[in-house]
Amino acid sequence: MAIASPALYVFTAGNPDARQHLAETVLHPIDRPRVVKHLGEGKTAELEGRSSDGRLYAWGALPTENLIRVWTGLSEGDHVLVYYEGTYHLATRVTEKLHNAALAEDLWSIGPAGTTWEYMYFLDAPKSVNIKSSALSYLEMPEKPQGFMRIASALEPIRNAYGSVDEFVTHLVAGPDGFAPEPRPASTPTSLAQVVDSFAEATRGSGLDYGEQHRQLVVRLLASLLTRPFVILTGLSGSGKSQLALKLGQWFGNERYSVVAVRPDWTGPEAMLGYEDLLQPPPRPWVVGEVLKLSLRAASDPSRPYLLLLDEMNLAHVERYFADFLSGMESDEPVIPNLVEQEGSWRMADAQENRLRVPRNLFVVGTVNVDETTYMFSPKVLDRANTIEFRVRSEDLKNAGGKPEAISEADLGPLESLVTAALDTNWHLEHQPAATPQYEAAVTRLHQTLTEVGWEFGYRTYHDMLRFAAFASAMGIGSWQQILDLQLLQKVLPRLNGSRRRLEPALSRLGRFCQDLAVDDKVKDEPTKVFMPNEQDLPSPLLPQSYDKIRRMHRLLVANQFASFAE
């Protein structure tokens, strides 16, 4: 019996929501536990075995009569091309198809009319194509494919020109001159340590130099953003907070960052998410600010990193304007209005979904200055960020030779490595540092000592501390004690504030913990004396940066009867 030749299919990702789905389950592999939960360990392992890289990729069709008909004709081994914005971007093959609404809803949520993309097909690891659809018109390939479709008209021209669909796709991936592919920047896999070196070198070359702490600051910023895409930079005015974030945006690319100055009159989510102009007749235009414009650009370009710099973030009450956006980042629920620009006006897109998820390739950095005109952050905000304090040492003043110059956009390799790591929720599990058991035990002891004084942290903070450790280790911080020092400094201490009666027991225990990870508040070798950080000038604490901060906070507490992380 003759074996049927592979067919050729196309699916499109023409709107931002579909592009986000593409990023989550095709451009990047699916988190394995999400599949195991619905298909079981055995079936998941079978699907992994059919993929050339042993990972899971999938797409799906809605339960409409036409799409079900196309899906029914789909077979294992058929070729699939991915199309959007006038270009075929990817080529892959079907490894299996299945009908599973529960798994589809878990992966892509609910679509129109309460349905989801339940007619699923798993795919092999996709290969880059980057071929304009117009370049394939001589093969009777559609110039503007729609939805999910089988390419029947092109099969005969393809066989005549290349012998088979297999050979045709091989040529597509290779990019022969006959297809006139667009030039694409070279992309090579880049380790996270190389990413750090590249950005650190670029910033130093621009004239931005933080002295001995320069590379560590770069690691702290990048590892924090990969851990959770929201970072707070605080410290003395003029200490280089905004400059480091600005340089990161320039490194991402001129069209992929925005600097937005927070205004004191930001009292609601409209400043971040825009609003509909109710004074205009339907279909009403939207008033769209720079934050929403950047978010929509990031949603339409999920394989590249984007940076939003909120400057002077605490000039307004952060919870009033940032709560909806922050909640969307945390819950992955759609909060971004799905808008398109038409003839100079922004209007709701003609799409199935009115709202989009906050793009996972959008990183948010907020700078903070503390004076009488600013507001404090709530625990809700601090718990969802790493807070990095900038301090200026006397010996580093010589590095401030003038205003730093702009830096050039990075090569594609480092940028893709950042996005890939950020989107992989299991990255820290698959790249655990060798000293993970010791680090986890120390974090548990830290939780125990804070529990005694009512300042313990929750599951989110524990997860973030483990994830940060994996990224920081991969970026070149070799000691788990150094990483623990940074996480105590960035995740735990920023939450502490209050009166002396409330705060001093915590600072006492944490100061003692910094000495040798002890879970008590007694001076070493003097069990009857309570450890007072401002009185204990330790020569070599195990966690020196955190201990220095704790001593400063304790001195302010003794002097003013109140202290917080922000000095």
Task: Please identify which residue in the block is written with the tokens 């590892």.
Answer: 223
| Together in a domain, 300 and 216 | yes
Range scoring the smallest mean pLDDT among 45-59, 301-315, 340-354, 406-420: 340-354
For residue 189, pLDDT over 60 is answered with: no
Query: Looking at residues 159-181, what average pLDDT do you find?
Result: 74
- pLDDT reported for residue 144: 85
Query: What confidence tens digit (pLDDT) does each residue in 70-88 have?
Result: 899 899 999 999 998 888 9
- pLDDT reported for residue 112: 75
Cis peptide upstream of residue 544 (ω within 30 degrees of 0) = no
For residue 186, pLDDT over 50 is answered with: no
Query: What confidence tens digit (pLDDT) does each residue in 408-428 have?
Result: 999 888 998 999 999 999 999
| Together in a domain, 84 and 230 | no
Residue 472 CA: distances (Å) to CA of 226, 312, 446, 475: 10, 27, 19, 5
| Together in a domain, 154 and 67 | yes
For residue 188, pLDDT over 80 is answered with: no
Residue 138 CA: distances (Å) to CA of 134, 152, 338, 421: 9, 14, 36, 40
| Together in a domain, 54 and 163 | yes
| Together in a domain, 175 and 197 | no
Q: In sequence order, what are the beta bridge partners of 516?
A: none
| Together in a domain, 450 and 550 | yes
Question: Most confidently modeled of 79-88, 126-135, 182-191?
Answer: 79-88
Q: Which helix (H) or strand (E) holds 38?
A: helix 32-50
Residue type, 457: F
Specify the pTM. 0.73
Buried-state track 29-66, b at ≥16 Cβ within 10 A, e below 16: bbbbebbeebbeeeebeebbebbeeeebbbbbbbbeee
| Together in a domain, 241 and 348 | yes
Give the confidence band of 172 by pLDDT, cuts at 50, 70, 90.
confident
Query: Looking at residues 327-332, what average pLDDT do you find?
Result: 92
Residue 1 resides in a domain: no
Residue 3 resides in a domain: no
Of the residues 125, 144, 179, the one at which a domain ends? 179
For residue 205, pLDDT over 90 is answered with: yes
Q: Which domain holds residue 133?
A: 8-179
Q: Tell me what the pLDDT averaged over the chain comes to.
A: 90
> Does residue 195 come out as left (phi exceeding 0), alpha (psi in the -120 to 50 range) or beta?
alpha
Could you tell me the CATH number of the domain that includes residue 378?
A: 3.40.50.300
Residue 187 CA: distances (Å) to CA of 20, 57, 128, 414, 416: 22, 21, 11, 8, 8
Range scoring the smallest mean pLDDT among 214-218, 254-258, 366-370: 366-370
Report how far residue 353's alpha carbon sits from residue 480's, in angstroms, rounded to the nearest whole number.
45
Query: Looking at residues 279-298, what average pLDDT do you find?
Result: 92
| Together in a domain, 272 and 373 | yes
Of the residues 155, 179, 203, the one at which a domain ends? 179
| Together in a domain, 386 and 429 | no
- pLDDT reported for residue 4: 58
Query: Looking at residues 465-488, what average pLDDT do you find?
Result: 96
Residue 143 resides in a domain: yes
Residue 244 resides in a domain: yes
Give the confidence band of 239 by pLDDT, cuts at 50, 70, 90.
confident
Report how far residue 145's alpha carbon sits from residue 46's, in angstroms, rounded to the nearest whole number.
32
Query: Looking at residues 38-49, what average pLDDT do you find?
Result: 95
Query: Looking at residues 181-209, what average pLDDT do you find?
Result: 78
Range scoring the smallest mean pLDDT among 162-171, 248-257, 446-455: 162-171
φ/ψ of 184, rounded to 5, equals -130, 135
Q: Which helix (H) or strand (E) holds 234?
A: strand 230-235
| Together in a domain, 167 and 275 | no
- pLDDT reported for residue 104: 95
Query: What confidence tens digit (pLDDT) does each residue in 98-118 have?
Result: 999 999 999 999 887 789 999
For residue 14, pLDDT over 90 is answered with: no
| Together in a domain, 65 and 208 | no
Query: What confidence tens digit (pLDDT) does each residue in 352-400 have?
Result: 788 999 999 999 999 998 765 567 788 889 999 999 999 888 888 887 7
- pLDDT reported for residue 282: 84
Report how far residue 544's alpha carbon sits from residue 482's, in angstroms, rounded to the nearest whole number.
9
Which pair of structure tokens corresponds to residue 430?
Answer: 């698959």
Could you tell me the CATH number of the domain that includes residue 68?
A: 3.10.590.10
For residue 3, pLDDT over 50 is answered with: no
For residue 182, pLDDT over 60 is answered with: no
Residue 96 resides in a domain: yes
- Tell me how many domains the chain contains: 3
Report how far residue 171's alpha carbon sits from residue 155's, in angstroms, rounded to the nearest whole number.
15
The 10 Å Cβ neighbour count of residue 12 is: 18
Query: Looking at residues 508-534, what average pLDDT do you find?
Result: 94
Report how far residue 389's alpha carbon sits from residue 367's, in angstroms, rounded to the nearest whole number.
10
Query: Looking at residues 479-489, what average pLDDT do you find?
Result: 97
Of the residues 148, 179, 210, the one at which a domain ends? 179
Residue 522 resides in a domain: yes
Q: What angle do CA 77, 125, 137 make, to 5 degrees?
A: 65
Instruction: Compare 19 and 243 and report the one with higher pLDDT.
Output: 243
Residue 417 resides in a domain: no
| Together in a domain, 317 and 398 | yes
For residue 183, pLDDT over 60 is answered with: no
- pLDDT reported for residue 359: 93
Residue 147 resides in a domain: yes
